[in-house]
């Protein structure tokens, strides 16, 4: 999927500018950024929930599966049935038997075998998130977009969840885009996009590339410092967003791959 959002306005306010991104098959991308930078606006543009000036290419709208931060689950169901119904309603599978088999496959992939007969209301937060993700995956969407699905989960659970998602993305050649504030799993992703607010309060890209190249690009030993550098001085940051937006744009124009 190729995203070219030249400009996105809310009324007269420029919310996003010069957003050019490629999301490849088989790859998982993390989107991080300062608060109010336009992460949710970018996602809303991609899923067709808001208008913008530009183009999104190389995808079909029906390929996009979206997981909101707080997905609605029928808590009285068990996870096996929830996945079965999701498969059946998608009309993607030829028979009920195949829907059952696929439900079993995703239960195993998501590490829910031990709880497959339990009502969803009895599951932990992390297990509920796994059910939500599996419900999207079983519909065989090519592109999975998730907004802060690991917020509020403890570090180990979040690592397991993201690790599973990245593994499925590779194995099934899907495209996964995750917004998160959690930097502790950053090196697991194939790519990282850093979205920031410039001094005019417009969202722009300060980095897009492999996580392994980030520390050198931002001249730091610690990923956490990156957001400190990019935050405005009013937000107790160093106010270097404009500098890194310019640096990234120079790399991009020169065709340098990060
Ligand atoms: N529906 C809207 N109408 C007007 N302004 C909006 C709307 N949604 C978001 N904004 C503004 O756009 C900017 C980016 O918001 P958002 O995409 O929610 O940022 P993030 O998700 O990165 O925190 C913010 O300044 C926000 O106030
Ligand atoms: Mg948001």
- For ligand 1, atom 17, the nearest C-alpha belongs to 38
Ligand 2: distance of its center to the CA of 94 in Å?
38
Q: Which CATH architecture has domain 2-66+185-253?
A: 3-Layer(aba) Sandwich (3.40)
This model's pTM is above 0.85 = yes
What tens digit of pLDDT does each residue of 154-200 get?
A: 888 889 889 988 998 999 999 999 999 889 899 999 999 999 999 99
Ligand 1: distance of its center to the CA of 131 in Å?
29
What tens digit of pLDDT does each residue of 71-101 get?
A: 788 989 999 999 999 999 998 899 999 999 9
Ligand positioned closest to the Cα atom of 32: 1
179 in ligand 1 pocket by Cβ < 6 Å? no
- Pairing relation of β-strands 2-10 and 53-57? antiparallel
The larger pLDDT score, comparing residue 2 to residue 65, is at 2
- pLDDT confidence of residue 121: 94
What tens digit of pLDDT does each residue of 12-48 get?
A: 999 999 999 999 999 999 999 988 999 999 999 999 9
Q: List phi, psi (to 5°) of 13.
A: -90, 125
- Per the CB < 8 A criterion, the answer to whether 236 and 34 are in contact is no
Ligand 1: distance of its center to the CA of 203 in Å?
10
Rounded Cα distance between 109 and 106, Å, is 5
Residue span(s) of the chain under CATH 3.40.50 come to 2-66+185-253
What tens digit of pLDDT does each residue of 95-120 get?
A: 999 999 999 999 998 889 999 999 99
* Neighbouring C-beta atoms of residue 96, cutoff 10 Å: 11
Quick one: which atom of ligand 1 is closest to the CA of 43?
A: 17
Rounded Cα distance between 226 and 238, Å, is 10
Secondary structure tally for the chain: helices H, strands E: 8, 9
Q: Is the dihedral of CA 15, 20, 23, 27 positive or negative?
A: negative
69 in ligand 1 pocket by Cβ < 6 Å? no
113 in ligand 1 pocket by Cβ < 6 Å? no
The tokens of 164 are what? 């599973």
């Amino acid at each position: 999927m190729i995203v070219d959002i030249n400009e996105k306005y809310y009324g007269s306010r420029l919310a996003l500018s010069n957003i050019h991104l490629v999301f490849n098959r088989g790859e998982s991308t993390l989107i991080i950024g300062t608060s109010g930078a336009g992460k949710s606006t970018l996602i809303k543009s991609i899923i067709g929930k808001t208008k913008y000036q530009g183009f999104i290419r190389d995808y079909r709208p029906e390929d996009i599966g979206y997981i909101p931060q707080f997905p609605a689950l029928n808590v009285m169901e068990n996870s096996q049935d929830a996945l079965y119904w999701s498969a059946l309603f998608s009309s993607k599978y030829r028979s009920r038997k195949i829907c059952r088999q696929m439900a079993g496959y995703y239960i195993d992939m998501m590490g829910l075998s031990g709880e497959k007969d339990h009502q969803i209301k009895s599951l932990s937060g992390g297990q509920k998130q796994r059910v939500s993700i599996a419900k999207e995956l079983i519909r065989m969407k090519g592109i999975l977009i998730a907004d802060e699905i690991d917020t509020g989960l403890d570090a180990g659970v979040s690592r397991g969840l993201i690790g599973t998602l990245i593994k499925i993305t590779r194995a099934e050649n899907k495209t996964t885009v995750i917004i998160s504030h959690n930097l502790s799993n950053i090196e697991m992703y194939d790519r990282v996009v850093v979205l920031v607010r410039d001094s005019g309060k417009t969202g722009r890209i300060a980095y897009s590339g492999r996580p392994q190249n980030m520390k050198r690009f931002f001249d730091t030993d610690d990923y956490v410092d990156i957001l400190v550098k990019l935050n405005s001085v009013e937000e107790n940051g160093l106010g270097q967003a404009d500098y890194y937006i310019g640096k990234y744009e120079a790399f991009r124009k020169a065709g340098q791959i990060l």
